[in-house]
């Protein structure tokens, strides 16, 4: 069986996309479906390459039983556009950046996270300049989106 390859993308790969990766990986494991997925995250910028997620992302995830502390930030690479079946941007700005960088044959794999997960056009806000409550709010949004995304993925990947 082929594995579904999912990449979550934000700007620096230290706040939103590591949380999305960790939450989705956790939900997939709880569903007993880990062997079906390859899950990763990346940033459109390389400012934090090699760094752990933001300490507040790590703390919020840990508070919900999700460990993201071993993740390391990386910048999206050209090869990612061919490697991943779905590339999910956390906001419109990062989606635009991805569309500019992607080869034409990969454009159908790029989606706004909330549009695909929940059918809305709302961005997942960047909590970097906020406090713990902003990270908690982002966690809640990502949990809702990832929870809705998991049962949809078979159909979404067949249609893309």
Residue 65: give its domain's CATH number.
Answer: 3.40.50.2300
Q: Kindly report, residue by residue over 40-49, the tens digit of the pLDDT.
A: 999 999 999 9
Q: How far apart are CA 139 and CA 153, in angstroms?
A: 20
Domain that holds residue 101: 4-159
The CB density around residue 124, as the number of other CB atoms within 10 Å, is 26
**CB burial readout 68-98, b (16+ within 10 A) else e:** beebebbbbeeebbeebbbbbbbbeebbebb
15, 16, 25, 146: the active-site residue: 16
Cα 85 to Cα 2, 119, 132, 141, distances in angstroms: 11, 19, 33, 23
**Can you tell me which residue has the tokens 């990270």?**
135
Mean pLDDT for the stretch of residues 146-157: 80
67 neighbors 61 (Cβ within 8 angstroms): yes
pTM across the whole model: 0.96
Mean pLDDT for the stretch of residues 73-90: 97
Bridge partners of 6? 39, 86
pLDDT value, residue 153 = 82
Is 15 among the catalytic positions?
no
Is 80 among the catalytic positions?
no
| DSSP label at residue 53 | P
146 neighbors 24 (Cβ within 8 angstroms): yes
Q: Kindly report, residue by residue over 10-19, the tens digit of the pLDDT.
A: 999 999 999 9
User: Structural domain tally of the chain?
Assistant: 1
User: Is the confidence at residue 118, as pLDDT, over 60?
Assistant: yes
pLDDT value, residue 154 = 61
Mean pLDDT for the stretch of residues 46-67: 97
10, 25, 54, 91: the active-site residue: 10
91, 123, 126, 146: the active-site residue: 126
**pLDDT band, residue 152 (cuts 50/70/90):** confident
Is 146 among the catalytic positions?
no
Mean pLDDT for the stretch of residues 27-51: 96
The CB density around residue 123, as the number of other CB atoms within 10 Å, is 18
pLDDT averaged over every residue in the chain = 94
Q: How far apart are CA 95 and CA 137, in angstroms?
A: 21
**pLDDT band, residue 1 (cuts 50/70/90):** low
pLDDT value, residue 156 = 57
User: Is the confidence at residue 110, as pLDDT, over 90?
Assistant: yes
């Amino acid at each position: 069986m082929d594995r579904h390859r999912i990449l979550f993308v934000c700007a620096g790969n230290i706040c939103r996309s590591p949380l999305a990766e960790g939450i989705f990986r956790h939900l997939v494991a709880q569903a007993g479906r880990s062997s079906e997925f390859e899950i990763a995250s990346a940033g459109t910028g390389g400012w934090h390459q090699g760094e752990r997620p933001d300490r507040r992302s790590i703390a919020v995830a840990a508070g919900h039983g999700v460990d993201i502390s071993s993740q390391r930030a990386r910048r999206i690479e050209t090869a990612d556009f061919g490697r991943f079946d779905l590339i999910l941007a956390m906001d419109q700005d990062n989606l635009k950046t991805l569309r500019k960088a992607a080869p034409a044959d990969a454009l159908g794999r790029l989606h706004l996270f909330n549009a695909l997960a929940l059918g809305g056009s709302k961005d997942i806000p960047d909590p970097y300049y906020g406090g713990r409550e902003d990270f908690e709010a982002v966690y809640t949004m990502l949990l809702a989106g990832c929870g809705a995304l998991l049962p949809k993925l078979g159909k979404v990947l067949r249609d893309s």
